[in-house]
Amino acid sequence: FQLSPSQINDVLRAGELSHKILYLNGKNANSVLRFESNQLASNTPIEDRRSAATCLQTKGMMFGVFDGHAGSACAQAVSERLLHYIAVSLMSRQTLEEIELAVECMKPVLPILQWHKHPNDVEYREITSQYFENLRVYWQHLLDLDTEPGFSLEEAMICAFKRLDSDISLEVQAPQENELMRNIALQVAFSGATACVAHIDGVHLHVANTGDCRAILGVHEEDGTWSTLPLTRDHNAFDEFEIRRLKREHPRSEEKTLFVNDRLLGILMPSRAFGDVQLKWSKELQHSILENSCDVEALNIYQYVPPNYHTPPYLTAEPEVTYHKLRSKDKFLVIASDGLWEMLSNEKVVNLVAGHLTELNVQKPQLAFEKPVNLGYMHSLLLQRKNRGIASLDQNIATHLIRHAIGSNEYGEVDQEKLAAMLTLPEDLARMYRDDITVTVVYFNSETIENYYRNNE
Amino acid sequence: AAGMFLRLLSDVRWRAANPKWRRMTCSRRSTSSTAEPHPVSLPAQAQVVICGGGIMGTSVAYHLSKMGWKDIVLLEQGRLAAGTTRFCAGIVSTARHVSVELKMADYSNKLYQQLEQETGVKTGYVKTGSISLAQTQDRLISLKRIASSLNVMGIPCEIITPKQVAQLHPLINIHDLVGAMYVPEDALVSSANVSLALATAASRNGVQIHERTSVSHVSVQKGRVTGVETDRGQIQCQYFVNCAGQWAYELGHSGEEPVNIPLHACEHFYLLTHPLKEPLASNLPTIVDPDGRIYIRNWQGGILSGGFEKNPKPLFTEGRNQLEIQNLQEDWDHFEPLLSALLRRMPDLEALQIMQLVNCPESFTPDMRCIMGESPTVRGYFVLAGMNSAGISYGGGAGKYLAEWMVNGYPSENVWPLDLKRFGTLQSSRTFLRHRVMEVMPLMCDLKVPRWDFQTGRQLRTSPLYDRLDAQGARWMEKHGFERVKYFVPPGKDLLDLDQSKTFYKPDWFDIVGSEVKCCKEAVCVIDMSSFTKFEISSTGDQALENLQYLFSNDLDVPVGHVVHTGMLNEKGGYENDCSIARLSKRSFFMISPTDQQVHCWAWLKNRLPNDSTLTMEDVTWKYTALNLIGPRAVDVLSELSYAPITPEHFPSLFCKEMSVGYANGIRVMSITHTGEPGFMLYIPIEYALHVYNEVMNMGQKYGIRNAGYYALRSLRIEKFFAFWGQDLDAFTTPMECGREFQVKLEKGMQFVGQEALLEQKQNGVYKRFTMFILEDHDTDMDLWPWWGEPIFRNGRYVGKTTSSAYSYTLERHVCLGFVQHFDEKTGEELVVTTDFINQGEYEIDIAGQRFQAKAKLYPFSSLFTHRRRKDEVELSGYQRE
């Protein structure tokens, strides 16, 4: 059984999400032109998540990609909550006070974020109110800090990441009557997720990264070529800084056992993540929590203590934040889970996006002819191409990247047969050949960026 | 490549005498890539600011300055003639369907021809002629219709055989042709240079031109333009002209008071080749092959060929988008069908070498006609844009009309088909525009047959009865976004599908409409006419009456409950609107106008009524569903439903009464039908619509009631010689010219707009006369049907054109309505048209080159008015019996 090209397209395009920012002349011009996103599952169900939202109380847009492991619970929770934490961290004291007052008086609360969602991006409805309560505790805490002006963007992002992770950890320790809530809290805490979040406000781009998702910029150089600017480091066993950091944080005696088989304690690929309390809590705490919970196996929670587990925590959710001031030659930002980067290099990705922009991609090759060519030749060439049905092209760049990630042959061209084969792998085998892939591509409006520089010169 | 292009298409030679201008042109040369210093600072104020330095902006500037306005500033965000104008194919073609478009193109051609001599700027004008090819008989009919129009306008034009085509053009393959139309005076120009020549002349006349200056928004105070905001500062002005081409929509929306300019850009491709071995002569005719969707002109010894594909690529839907702009490049796969058509038409070109495939966005409008005129919401805000890829053909004429409009208050031709006010906010949705232009662009080449309806952007405004009517077989057309029923297909009867139903001959619905008409004549029919524009005007005192008396030509001081047919005239006595006004009370009036008057009439009244809180005007179009009960039994249906006496004694013609129908109270019933047949219009608050409709249909069963549509209505009103605004009447037609003196209060000694003009006409006679023609030797089954725009011949000489036509099922003849003029046989001067002149002629109507004898009548057949109800006071009271 073989998938037809249109069936392949249906499978690939199911997760497509795109949003165009209405172009406004003048003051409110957004430096984001549009974004396109897509994801393809390898795990069933998929463990990747993504978020995109516009801050309504502060300026800017946020885009996040979250790669879950040991289940999707943690990635789900983080994708629902993290942007709220960041947004709250960025708000002025006055706005926070207004919101607090509104909550207290049971009045309508100012909306914090405008989400840009795919219909399949579901929510844990049952638990939203609890999440909101904890978010409220967080802003009450911020109000208590009594600092004005508040955080810098970098501080805000770091603080939000850490706070959310600590909330995840505390929620499962807190007594909880409702069994469903308790189970969800358990699943969230005992699974994990890496996160990469970009915050874009005018020309100011901040990327906060925890784990091995990656964000890169596509830069259109003046000579017409494209170059790549990585904005994150992959936090894993291959990163010198991470190795050094972990060695610094743990006794010398553990140096050899920190990374085993390129995994943290021989278990985890990323060296930073949300959740994963197995690598954060003391053994005792883990035991006491799991003993009291009903059916750990039914919840798919791995109950184990890693070997050489002496000085927890080994894992942190603290992100590394990169700042980049956008230039008009910065054309787009790609954030993707490691599923993409395992298959495609940064350069390849940038070239594919750039090629897609100019339709110079492998799917629809530039007509190969040396000018001048005559009309008759061109005509026959076009008819051939028409018959081969080359015209179909992915509108969504994320789909285009995913198609290339899983369908490229050794020449870097998409091979329909390979693509079909990859998409029809049995569930248990799929994970061997490809990871979940989530891609979000954000296009910048160079005109707005230019205007910024023109007006601020 | 773009740089090369500019050089090729526009061999610019500056010989401008104006020093200011020269300084600017110098700076053009010296600084090409660096940020440009602006040598001339912007003035702080001007009378007129024109935004856009393409063919439209420069043409407006040229004509305004010629007409004596000097204080004009033209702003261009990039460089002059560097947008769509630069890439324009440069074909000046007069073969147009709409008469005003034809006149604009003809004027443009004549203007461009002498422009080089006038300005010294080389325009590349070459009179090549054009040949439009027909691959089918229907196409040939379409061309013949145009040829008839061109000929009576004095533009040489002939229908030729394929053999003659081959003689005129050496490369054409004629084996699949049935004929062609040759217009020898059509021309080619370099459009960029025409634009620069116009700019040069305007500049000499004192117009200031500033390049690299973009308008960010237009300031408005109290509904008037007060100035523009640019990236180089502010200019105060009284008039603003938006000639921003494909950016006109965005610019219109950038101000605090949005101006809706419904247009949308599509990519447009054409091919340039190297010269042939034996270079093509520069005077070789341009070929238009609409069936192949392409045009082909000679270009630098080679050819330039583009077309209008079936699957256009709209762009800039979200507004200006830099990535997309950068992305505009050749799309050969997309061009393939056009290239195939080209090589089929000229097989010998196979060896010709390609130079470039040019992609230049063109803007298109929802109805294929350009947009000009003043904004209905902002006074002093004028627009000229949306040329549907005919910018160079219309440029001169459109600029002239707009300039006249600004200077004189009105253009010298009826431009209602192009007036911005034919659109409202409802056409400004980007989704609507995107979908509609995808339909419009292919239409450029599609066969234009009578009674054609757009398929996209439908079901926007509907009556509450829509679903009910649809389920009963209604077929729909659209007017101003409103769905209206054409006719009802009876159960079990199938009509042809859309494409096959296109015909210039007898349509497939002929018998269906015939039976609806019969039912109107013999029993009773219901027509949903909710689309009509409805205003309510009221005041606390007598202000409403006083003001309306001045603005309308008929006497409105009638007893409460009377309905008055009246024109809303301009100063020249022409119809700005033709409406029915019911006096609801001493101080309030209910006004019913044609559907497409919603914006125009509103703006007209708003601008003329005093800004007085005691006088209110409300658009209640959406509040009422209107049902027209036509037929001799309408009175029976209505009286059974209302238990009220509505015999002619109690409810004479032209009356309006609020009454209950069924359970619903407050239904406004008027004894008019807009057709001359007996019956009633029911204005029903929308929540009662379904109820009243159901009651009427139930009660009507025993009287043989059925649904009917607008085609039946049309046939009825045309056989009764009813003129309809927008088709027969326009701003250049007065009541005197269409036998409606009885609808004017000239004798009552009251002041009203247009009075003087009418008095003069009354004294001196009229120069055209609305006339009804009955086709005599026309075979309905076999001959081409008349449509509108057919030339009328009197004793073999051209005297005017028809404005509408319909088959009269009662007379069993075709009826055409139209205007007859009297041109002096020697001088061509217009003379007074007398009744004798009309009556003493032998008439013929020219349908696609074939002439049919016609009988002219100035008054309708009295025999058609069987049901007289109030003595001398039928709707048509005043018409004399024969």
Instruction: Provide the shortest C-alpha distance from residue B292 to chain A (in Å).
Output: 16
Residues B597 and B643 in one domain: no
* pLDDT recorded at residue B876: 45
d(C-alpha B88, C-alpha A101), whole Å: 62
Residues B115 and B158 in one domain: yes
Residues B335 and B376 in one domain: yes
Residues B300 and B418 in one domain: yes
CATH code, A3-235+267-363+373-454: 3.60.40.10
Residue B502: inside a domain = no
* pLDDT recorded at residue B864: 64
d(C-alpha A209, C-alpha A199), whole Å: 11
Query: A31-35, A294-298, B309-313, B405-409: which range is least confident on average?
Result: A294-298
User: If pLDDT is split at 50, 70 and 90, which confidence band does A359 have?
Assistant: low
- With CA atoms as reference, the chain A residue closest to B353 would be A374
Residue B500: inside a domain = no
* pLDDT recorded at residue A181: 84
Residues B780 and B820 in one domain: yes
> Residue B332: which of A358, A382, A443 has the nearest Cβ?
A382
Residues B537 and B522 in one domain: no
What are the two backbone dihedrals, phi and then psi, of residue B857, each rounded to the nearest 5 degrees?
-140, 140
Does the beta-carbon distance from A382 to B336 stay under 8 Å?
A: yes
Residue B744 vs residues A92, B142, B582, B803, B876: alpha-carbon distances, Å: 69, 40, 16, 23, 13
* pLDDT recorded at residue A303: 67
Q: Given a cut of 60, is residue B349 above it in pLDDT? A: yes
Residues B664 and B770 in one domain: no
Beta bridge partners of A438: A39
The complex's ipTM works out to 0.81
Q: Is B264 helix (H, G, I), strand (E, B) or coil?
A: strand
Query: A146-155, A336-345, A433-442, B757-766: which range is least confident on average?
Result: A146-155
pLDDT tens digits for B131-154? Answer: 999 999 999 999 999 999 999 999
User: If pLDDT is split at 50, 70 and 90, which confidence band does A23 have?
Assistant: low
* pLDDT recorded at residue B360: 86
Instruction: Provide the shortest C-alpha distance from residue B527 to chain A (in Å).
Output: 42
CATH number, position B666: 3.30.1360.120
Residue A225 vs residues A228, A351, B328: alpha-carbon distances, Å: 10, 9, 18
Q: What is the mean pLDDT of residues B318-334?
A: 71
User: If pLDDT is split at 50, 70 and 90, which confidence band does A370 have?
Assistant: low
Q: Given a cut of 90, is residue B129 above it in pLDDT? A: yes
pLDDT tens digits for A145-198? Answer: 876 667 899 999 999 999 999 999 999 888 888 888 888 888 899 999 999 999
Tokens matching residue B51:
């935004």
Residues B602 and B629 in one domain: no
Q: What is the separation of C-alpha A451 from the centre of its chain, rounded to a whole number of angstroms? A: 29
- How many percent of chain B have pLDDT more than 90? 79
pLDDT tens digits for B766-786? Answer: 999 999 999 999 999 999 999
> Residue A375: which of B320, B322, B354 has the nearest Cβ?
B354
Asked which of B370, B404, B422 is the last residue of a domain, the reply is B422
CB B593 within 8 A of CB B537: no
Residue B758: inside a domain = no
Q: Given a cut of 70, is residue B469 above it in pLDDT? A: yes
- With an 8 Å Cβ cutoff, the interface of chain B facing chain A consists of 216-217, 250, 254, 271, 273-274, 318-323, 326-327, 329, 331-333, 335-336, 339-340, 342-343, 349-355
Q: What is the mean pLDDT of residues B181-204?
A: 95
* pLDDT recorded at residue B597: 94
CB B644 within 8 A of CB B659: yes
Residue B449: inside a domain = no
Does the beta-carbon distance from A33 to B353 stay under 8 Å?
A: no
> Residue A372: which of B322, B339, B354 has the nearest Cβ?
B354
Q: Does the predicted TM-score (pTM) go above 0.80?
A: no
A residues 355-394 near B, CB within 8 Å? 357-359, 364, 367, 371-376, 378-379, 382-383, 385-386, 390-391
A residues 6-45 near B, CB within 8 Å? 20, 22-23, 25-26, 33
CB B103 within 8 A of CB B239: no
Q: Given a cut of 60, is residue B103 above it in pLDDT? A: yes
d(C-alpha B297, C-alpha B282), whole Å: 9
Range of the domain at B816: 766-881
pLDDT tens digits for B31-86? Answer: 333 444 556 789 999 999 999 999 999 999 999 999 999 999 999 998 898 877 77
CB A33 within 8 A of CB A61: no
Computed on alpha carbons and rounded to an integer, the radius of gyration of chain A in Å comes to: 24
Q: Given a cut of 90, is residue A30 above it in pLDDT? A: no
CB atoms within 10 A of CB B640: 14
Does the beta-carbon distance from A447 to B322 stay under 8 Å?
A: yes
Q: Which parts of B705-796 are beta strand (E)?
A: 706-707, 768-775, 791-794
pLDDT tens digits for B658-695? Answer: 999 999 999 999 999 998 899 999 999 999 999 999 99
Q: What is the mean pLDDT of residues B842-865?
A: 89
pLDDT tens digits for B606-625? Answer: 999 998 889 999 999 999 99
When the pLDDT of each residue in chain B is averaged and rounded to a whole number, the result is 89
Annotated domain spans of chain A: 3-235+267-363+373-454
Residue B36: inside a domain = no
* pLDDT recorded at residue B285: 96
More confident residue, B872 or B253: B253
CATH number, position B320: 3.50.50.60
Given the structure tokens 């040991």, which residue do they identify? A70
Instruction: Provide the shortest C-alpha distance from residue A374 to chain B (in Å).
Output: 4
The domain total for chain B is 4
Tokens matching residue A208:
């906060």
Instruction: Provide the shortest C-alpha distance from residue B670 to chain A (in Å).
Output: 48
* pLDDT recorded at residue B31: 37
Phi-psi region for residue B714, left (φ > 0), alpha (ψ -120 to 50) or beta?
Answer: alpha
CB B677 within 8 A of CB B521: yes
- With CA atoms as reference, the chain A residue closest to B303 would be A375
d(C-alpha A32, C-alpha B337), whole Å: 37
Q: Given a cut of 60, is residue B874 above it in pLDDT? A: no
Three-state secondary structure readout of B648-701: CCCCCCCEEEEEEECCEEEEEEECCCCCCCCEEEEEEEHHHHHHHHHHHHHHHH
Count contacts between A and B (CB, < 8 Å). Answer: 80
Measured at the CA of B21, the angle between CA B199 and CA B52, to 5 degrees, comes to 40
> Residue B321: which of A23, A375, A379 has the nearest Cβ?
A23
Q: Show residues of chain B in contact with A359, CB under 8 Å.
A: 327, 329, 331
- How many percent of chain B have pLDDT more than 70? 92
d(C-alpha A222, C-alpha A258), whole Å: 45
Does the beta-carbon distance from A26 to B327 stay under 8 Å?
A: no
* pLDDT recorded at residue B177: 96
* pLDDT recorded at residue B165: 96
Residues B844 and B712 in one domain: no
CATH number, position B579: 3.30.70.1400
- With CA atoms as reference, the chain B residue closest to A370 would be B354
Q: What is the mean pLDDT of residues B790-798?
A: 95
More confident residue, B718 or A296: B718
What are the two backbone dihedrals, phi and then psi, of residue B702, each rounded to the nearest 5 degrees?
-70, -15
User: If pLDDT is split at 50, 70 and 90, which confidence band does B318 have?
Assistant: confident
Instruction: Provide the shortest C-alpha distance from residue B428 to chain A (in Å).
Output: 15
Does the beta-carbon distance from B339 to A379 stay under 8 Å?
A: yes
Q: What is the mean pLDDT of residues A308-321?
A: 92
Residues B613 and B685 in one domain: no
Instruction: Provide the shortest C-alpha distance from residue A124 to chain B (in Å).
Output: 34
Does the beta-carbon distance from A375 to B250 stay under 8 Å?
A: no
Does the beta-carbon distance from B335 to A372 stay under 8 Å?
A: no
Instruction: Give the amino acid at B607.
Output: N
* pLDDT recorded at residue B711: 96
CB B69 within 8 A of CB B404: no
CATH number, position B871: 2.40.30.110
Residues B688 and B738 in one domain: no
* pLDDT recorded at residue A357: 77
Residues B330 and B194 in one domain: yes
Q: Given a cut of 70, is residue B871 above it in pLDDT? A: no
Q: What is the mean pLDDT of residues B299-310?
A: 94
- From the candidates B323, B325, B345, B348, which should be mutated to test the interface with A, based on the most A CB atoms within 10 A? B323
Residue B576: inside a domain = yes
